[in-house]
Amino acid sequence: MSEPVKQEGAQALDEGIEAGISGLTTEQIASVINEVIDNETGARLKTYVDTCVHCGLCSEACHFYLSHEKDPHYSPVGKVKQTLWEMLRKKGRVGPAFIKNAAIIAHTECNLCKRCAQYCPFGIDIAYLMLVVRRIIHKLGVTPLYIQDTAHSHSVTMNQMWVKGDEWPDTLQWQEEEAQTEIPTLRIPLDKEGADIMYSVIAPEPKFQAQLIYQMAVIMDVAGVNWTMPATLGWDNSDMAMYTGDNEIMGRLKRTHYETAQRLRVKRIVMGECGHAFRSVYDMGNRWLGWKMPPIPMVHAIDFYHELLSQGRIKIKQKYPEPVTLHDPCNVVRGGGLGEKLREVAHAMCETVVEMHPNREHNYCCSAGGGVINCGPPFKMTRVNGNRVKAEQLFAAKTRGAKTLITPCHNCHSGLHDIVEHFGIGLEIKFISDILYEIIEKPEAT
């Protein structure tokens, strides 16, 4: 049976993938694939492969598939066919060109958003199968360059962005001083043992979004929270190693994070508005370390804001007047059930909330998550063009009046920014804290 040609533009060139495959032989590839399949997978992989009846019903879950005129190469099961099925059928004996293609598919054409798990009648976890492919790619050394660099940063510095030891407290001090011009008594308590809350962020915040730390410091101060940020390694909750299949580094990161919280004897960890980090601390990293649930309560920012608002610890001075729409991040809404709380926070903050459709756990992914945006510039258009349905969904919300787009996730932010810009949608994108900081009652500057 002849197969349709895949719709794509010029194939992106990734130095990491090219260098990775250049020295590979079929024998090496087979040995790595079989080693991963035999030793690292078990009942799930076998049962999923045996149970799948090739019905194609997962297809319409995927934004890549929907955005490419329903090209079957982009359907979830189509991606499994082009990667794992073939590896299993040939008992690992596939060539370097196949591995290159598998790396591109698993790393840049799947966001591991798990929407397809909601569409498969058997509940087959295709994102897990793609992670198995990424694990193989990792062990073959063919991971795309940019995300591999991020994993290296995690390994060397225990943070995602090569933030050096002195840069971290320096940034916090800088933000503290900035915020003191507004609230002179404000502190960002560093390494305070016995605080109620350890606040953790992802490394892009100190690197180039320091205002988010400023905003959170103001919110914490106004709410009178007994909080701290660690001075040592473990302050960064992000985890791109989870997405490169480098589970060992994922484990090191999460252990350091939780051990830092334990050293500070905090009651719980509150994390900033990030999706993938939530997946790492709540779903994948903790499990790798053998913890069913996080060893210290882990609270996402949505949950935390919800708590502060519902307990009246922060008060809204004046609601945000512009109509907003909400983008539900996969990792905290499909992955953590925070959809309703996000809505309650949004309604408490804003005059008008316009729902986009589909929403909540059925929302389309931003196409940046799952490490795809971290594969860098070579694959920017892969994810932007691969998410035309998102542009249509945003545009529909805009035509119903939305002017601002709220999403409590860094990857969603960056991904949606590119989509909004490329398709000319014209929505202003904000974090919850961007708005909260503006509208809460603050002590008057003296």
Partner 1 sequence: MHDVYSFVTGPLAWAAFLLFIGGSLFKLGWMLHLVAKKERFIFTYMSWRYSFRSILHWIMPFATTNWKLHPVLTIVTFAFHLCLLATPLFLLSHIILWDEAWNIRWWAFPDALADVMTVVVILSCLFFLIRRVQQPEVRFVTSTSDFIILAIVAMPFITGFIAYHQWFNYKVSFILHILSGEVMLAAIPFTRLSHMILSPFTRAYMGSEFGGVRHAKDW
The span of 119-127, 143-151, 231-239, 242-250 binding partner 1 (CB under 8 A) equals 119-127
- E strands within 129-286? 197-200, 227-228, 268-271
19 vs 53 by CB, closer to partner 1: 53
Report the nearest approach of partner 1 to the CB of residue 54 (Å). 5
State residue 350 phi and psi, 5-degree precision. Answer: -120, 150
Q: Are 282 and 330 in contact (CB under 8 A)?
A: no
User: CA triplet 159, 101, 361: central angle to 5 degrees?
Assistant: 60
Residue 361, CA distances (Å) to 48, 87, 142, 156, 303 in order: 23, 32, 32, 36, 16
Residues 245-284: x where in contact with partner 1 by CB under 8 A, - otherwise, as a string: --------------------------------------x-
Q: Are 331 and 354 in contact (CB under 8 A)?
A: no
DSSP state of 245: T
320: left (phi over 0), alpha (psi -120 to 50) or beta: beta
3 vs 166 by CB, closer to partner 1: 3
Peptide bond before residue 294 is cis, with ω within 30 degrees of 0: no
Residues 289-328: x where in contact with partner 1 by CB under 8 A, - otherwise, as a string: ---x------------------------------------
268 vs 362 by CB, closer to partner 1: 362
Nearest alpha-carbon partner for 102 in 67, 77, 73, 134: 134
Contact between 52 and partner 1 by CB under 8 A: the answer reads yes
Binding-site member from 102, 105, 124, 349 for partner 1 (CB under 8 A): 124
Contact between 337 and partner 1 by CB under 8 A: the answer reads yes
3-state percent breakdown (helix, strand, coil) of the chain, nearest 5: 55, 5, 40
| Strands lying side by side in the sheet with 227-228 | 227-228, 197-200, 268-271, 298-300
337 vs 443 by CB, closer to partner 1: 337
Binding-site member from 24, 57, 316, 396 for partner 1 (CB under 8 A): 57
Contact between 44 and partner 1 by CB under 8 A: the answer reads yes
The span of 52-60, 94-102, 213-221, 262-270 binding partner 1 (CB under 8 A) equals 52-60
CA pair distance 258, 256, nearest whole angstrom: 6
- Restricted to residues 75-104, the positions that interact with partner 1 (CB under 8 A) are 75, 77-78, 81
HSE of 83, CA atoms in CB hemisphere, 13 A: 31
The span of 48-56, 139-147, 182-190, 438-446 binding partner 1 (CB under 8 A) equals 48-56
Contact between 357 and partner 1 by CB under 8 A: the answer reads no
Which amino acid is present at 246?
D
Contact between 339 and partner 1 by CB under 8 A: the answer reads yes
HSE of 424, CA atoms in CB hemisphere, 13 A: 0
Contact between 46 and partner 1 by CB under 8 A: the answer reads yes
- Restricted to residues 59-78, the positions that interact with partner 1 (CB under 8 A) are 59-61, 65, 70-73, 75, 77-78
Contact between 123 and partner 1 by CB under 8 A: the answer reads yes
Binding-site member from 10, 43, 97, 445 for partner 1 (CB under 8 A): 43
Residues 359-388: x where in contact with partner 1 by CB under 8 A, - otherwise, as a string: -xxx--------------------------
71 vs 221 by CB, closer to partner 1: 71
Nearest alpha-carbon partner for 395 in 356, 425, 417, 353: 425
Footprint of partner 1 (CB under 8 A): 1, 3-4, 41-44, 46-48, 50-57, 59-61, 65, 70-73, 75, 77-78, 81, 117-119, 121-125, 283, 287, 292, 333-339, 360-362
